[in-house]
Amino acid sequence: GLGAMEEKPAAATKHTTICLGSMASGLREVYESGRTKDMEWRQSQLRGLISLLTDNEEEIFDVLHEDLGKHRGEAFRDELGILVKSIKYTLQNLKKWMAPEKAEAPLVAFPATAMVVPEPLGVVLIFSCWNLPLGLALEPLSGALAAGNAIVLKPSELAPATAAFLAANIPKYLDSSAVKVVLGGPNVGEELMEHRWDKVLFTGSARVGRIIMTKAAKHLTPVALELGSKCPCIVDWLDGKRDRQIAVNRIIGAKWSTCAGQACIAIDHILVEEKFAPILIELLKSTLKRFMAEPGGMARILNEKHFQRLSAYLEDSNVASSVVHGGYMDRKTLRIEPTILLNPPVDSDIMTEEIFGPLLPIITVKKIEDSIAFLKSKPKPLAIYAFTTNESLKRRIVEETSSGSVTFNDAVVQYALESVPFGGVGHSGFGQYHGKYSFELFSNKKAVFKRSFLIEFMFRYPPWDDSKIGT
């Protein structure tokens, strides 16, 4: 049926277009019926999502392992666990978010009331990415449901087991006439963009983000783009042994244990003072040995293409000679050893492109404050991280740099917060979600102003004379 369409070869494009067209108009009909606006409907959908996740835990671990070699521990921490926590939070707060908000009304309008009333946008489209193929699909989906929309989800074709899981289970657990899953790759994505949507949330590369935005312009469809960037991590001189160890644990967690660095907010590279670099590298090496002792502790590279992209970084001999740890790559199993590089040339590809993999360049600076100028010379990233106890450095980072988020003394974990917005700025994208921000992203804040017939001031109307002007 329409719930799960395979990508059609070019010859079948016309057929696909017709299918997608009737699907889109079917969804609009459902939306117009008003069903999805009811709070009870929204709550039942959110509960359905929780059941989808908890009933199928084992299968979810299996598909994430099949697509990315993710360990179930990591899969629980980064996808399943976060999702259940986030959807429960949405359920708890939904009534409050849906409530009209009273606003100030001017005295000259007395008696009057002003309100902000959230309403769903209508029929929305969500494109997800393959690295958190469950989380990046269902996190925005839960927000769109909470806001009362009809929805099309297009999971990434590059995580096919998870995509098939979503296509098979979403119709079982959710209202299948209001929520559709469309499978397929770029062709299907482009065809979906031929139709009119009330919002598109896209997670993926800037290259495809540009295509989405261009196509959206035709229908004046608003878009939110969750793109990538190079997220820097400043590591200041840390005094105590304990602080150093905690910092290193967290750096490893945010680089190699998060889908092998294939995460939009993974640490891309480190900035550190020259004198602290050897201490940091030694501690990274010894801790990696403990954390990654078991085979299968780290996810694998998505596919041959991404493996090739990552291995190409090391084909540059100036980059290869900067490797101080790791560097082993096994094309057959798509595994890349956690790899540390010290001062690869700053104009090499690995320092100008988003890495999105288990390679970690460490760049040394004379004074840690110099890293601020380094950050300011780059495009605005999704996240900036800094391990430091220096309050004035923290203040300077927040005040002088720009990014979607800043996290001190940890990394990546900000993704799990419902209370702060998640999204990019500048080249890392726009449109923020998670928690209430997801609800708002998929809602229209409608201004509602109520007046009465009680009092009427004639000075607002012509004929004009000077007594009607002035204070």
For the question of residue 233 being annotated catalytic, the response is: no
Q: Which of 213, 188, 177 is closest to 30 using CA atoms?
A: 177
- Is residue 156 involved in binding ligand NAD (CB under 6 A)? yes
CB nearer to ligand NAD: give 53 or 193: 193
Give the whole-angstrom CA distance, residue 355 versus residue 358: 8
What residues from 64 to 123 belong to the interface with ligand NAD (CB under 6 A)?
none
What residues from 393 to 422 belong to the interface with ligand NAD (CB under 6 A)?
none
Q: Is 444 helix (H, G, I), strand (E, B) or coil?
A: strand
Choosing from 79, 139, 226, 354, the catalytic residue is 226
Give the whole-angstrom CA distance, residue 142 versus residue 90: 8
Spatial CB neighbours of 163, under 8 Å, sequence gap ≥ 6:
133, 155, 156, 157, 181, 183
Give the whole-angstrom CA distance, residue 411 versus residue 249: 10
Beta bridge partners of 335: 330
Q: How far is the CB of 204 from ligand NAD (least distance, A)?
A: 3
What residues from 168 to 187 belong to the interface with ligand NAD (CB under 6 A)?
185-186
- What does residue 177 show for φ and ψ, rounded to 5 degrees? -90, -10
- Is residue 20 involved in binding ligand NAD (CB under 6 A)? no
Q: How far is the CB of 59 from ligand NAD (least distance, A)?
A: 21
What tokens appear for 20 in the block? 């997608």
CB nearer to ligand NAD: give 37 or 427: 427
- Is residue 208 involved in binding ligand NAD (CB under 6 A)? yes
Q: Report the sign of the C-alpha dihedral through residues 137, 140, 143, 147, in that order.
A: negative
Read out DSSP for 78-146? IIIHHHHHHHHHHHHHHHHHHS-EEE---GGG-SEEEEEEEEE-SEEEEE--SSSTTHHHHHHHHHHHH
Beta bridge partners of 364: 272
- Is residue 227 involved in binding ligand NAD (CB under 6 A)? yes
For the question of residue 399 being annotated catalytic, the response is: no
Q: How do strand 405-408 and strand 199-203 relate by DSSP bridges?
A: unpaired
CB nearer to ligand NAD: give 124 or 288: 124
- Reported in sequence order, the residue ranges of 373-422 that DSSP labels E, i.e. its strands, are 383-387, 405-408
Are the beta carbons of 425 and 446 closer than 8 angstroms?
no
Work out which of 211, 279, 398, 425 binds ligand NAD, going by CB under 6 A: 211
- What does residue 382 show for φ and ψ, rounded to 5 degrees? -65, -40
CB nearer to ligand NAD: give 21 or 185: 185
Q: How far is the CB of 7 from ligand NAD (least distance, A)?
A: 9
Work out which of 175, 236, 354, 418 binds ligand NAD, going by CB under 6 A: 354
Residues in the chain: 471
- Is residue 201 involved in binding ligand NAD (CB under 6 A)? no
Instruction: Return the range that interacts with ligand NAD (CB under 6 A); candidates 206-214, 341-349, 370-378, 450-458.
Output: 206-214
Q: How far is the CB of 20 from ligand NAD (least distance, A)?
A: 12
CB nearer to ligand NAD: give 60 or 132: 132
Q: How far is the CB of 108 from ligand NAD (least distance, A)?
A: 46
- Is residue 244 involved in binding ligand NAD (CB under 6 A)? no
Give the whole-angstrom CA distance, residue 124 versus residue 112: 34
CB nearer to ligand NAD: give 119 or 190: 190
Work out which of 61, 197, 256, 356 binds ligand NAD, going by CB under 6 A: 356
Q: How far is the CB of 349 from ligand NAD (least distance, A)?
A: 15
How many residues of this chain interact with ligand NAD, rule: CB under 6 A? 27
Work out which of 57, 119, 157, 337 binds ligand NAD, going by CB under 6 A: 157
What tokens appear for 130 in the block? 């393959």
What tokens appear for 251 in the block? 């750096």
Choosing from 231, 233, 259, 264, the catalytic residue is 264
- Is residue 439 involved in binding ligand NAD (CB under 6 A)? no
Spatial CB neighbours of 369, under 8 Å, sequence gap ≥ 6:
393, 396
Work out which of 122, 133, 171, 189 binds ligand NAD, going by CB under 6 A: 189
CB nearer to ligand NAD: give 180 or 244: 180
Please tell me what DSSP assigns to residue 300: P
Work out which of 31, 127, 165, 307 binds ligand NAD, going by CB under 6 A: 127
Work out which of 16, 56, 131, 162 binds ligand NAD, going by CB under 6 A: 131
Alpha carbons within 13 angstroms on the beta-carbon side of residue 307 total 17
- Is residue 441 involved in binding ligand NAD (CB under 6 A)? no
- Is residue 264 involved in binding ligand NAD (CB under 6 A)? yes
What tokens appear for 60 in the block? 């979810």
- Is residue 205 involved in binding ligand NAD (CB under 6 A)? yes
CB nearer to ligand NAD: give 413 or 447: 413
* Angle (deg, nearest 10), helices 277-291 and 241-255: 60
Q: Report the sign of the C-alpha dihedral through residues 405, 410, 416, 417, in that order.
A: negative
CB nearer to ligand NAD: give 120 or 404: 404
Give the whole-angstrom CA distance, residue 330 versus residue 325: 16
Active site residues: 226, 264
Name the site residues for ligand NAD (rule: CB under 6 A): 127, 129, 131, 136, 154, 156-157, 185-186, 189-190, 193, 203-205, 208, 211-212, 226-228, 264, 354, 356, 382, 424, 429
